[in-house]
Chains A and B, each alone.
Chain A
Amino acid sequence: AQSVTQLGSHVSVSEGALVLLRCNYSSSVPPYLFWYVQYPNQGLQLLLKYTSAATLVKGINDFEAEFKKSETSFHLTKPSAHMSDAAEYFCAARSSARQLTFGSGTQLTVLP
């Protein structure tokens, strides 16, 4: 069964610093991979998705993620954190079974 691991349930960065949120998947066949963001009292919004067209995927709000098959990773980065980036971030993987499996989430705090 597909599984998704997010290292670090809480990450704090200073405003303007690099954001790095880690995600690893377990699958013998590279799945489709997604990053979602959840703001308080809201549903999940798609940030970006990997569909094998390119290993470096750019998303909204200057977020990007790089697919590394050798490391089974799909880490999310942003060069410069803004206060408005404070939210919970979820990595997700979708296999041929068409079910979307979510990681446990990483709460990002941005310090002034």
Chain B
Amino acid sequence: DAGVIQSPRHEVTEMGQEVTLRCKPISGHNSLFWYRQTMMRGLELLIYFNNNVPIDDSGMPEDRFSAKMPNASFSTLKIQPSEPRDSAVYFCASSLEGDRDSSPLHFGNGTRLTVT
């Protein structure tokens, strides 16, 4: 089990540029989550997919953020255009959801985004 794989690990970009973060969930998991972590706001849920369908995107900050999950093994989080306040660590997590809600999330190692 390779775990949740995120790429890149680090991304430095200039304000106004497009940024795409990538995530490969654990094989067989049916739910995928994108989180953002900052010192000021802690861990924030951005969006949650179940069976490749976005279930809750109320945490997406604004229209500059978009996320897709074209298949069960891949998801992207895109920021266009990027701004300095988007600088944070972005985590992808996956889980196997069933009838109960006790399934733990498995996290990737994150992408550290710096927008200058």
> Within the complex, which residue of B33, B91, B104, B110 is in contact with A49, where a contact is CB–CB below 8 Å?
B104
A49 CA to B33 CA, complexed, in Å:
19
Measured CA separation A31–B79 after assembly (Å): 33
Contacts of B42 in A (CB 8 A): 102-105
Provide the A61-100 mask, 1 if CB < 8 A to any CB of B, else 0.
0000000000000000000000000000010001110111
Which residues on B are within 8 Å of A, measured CB to CB?
4, 33, 42-43, 45, 48, 55-56, 91, 93, 97, 100-102, 104-110
A-B contact pairs, 22 of them (CB 8 A): A32-B101, A32-B102, A34-B104, A36-B107, A41-B109, A41-B110, A43-B108, A43-B110, A44-B93, A44-B105, A44-B107, A46-B105, A46-B106, A94-B102, A98-B101, A99-B48, A100-B33, A100-B105, A102-B43, A103-B42, A104-B42, A105-B42
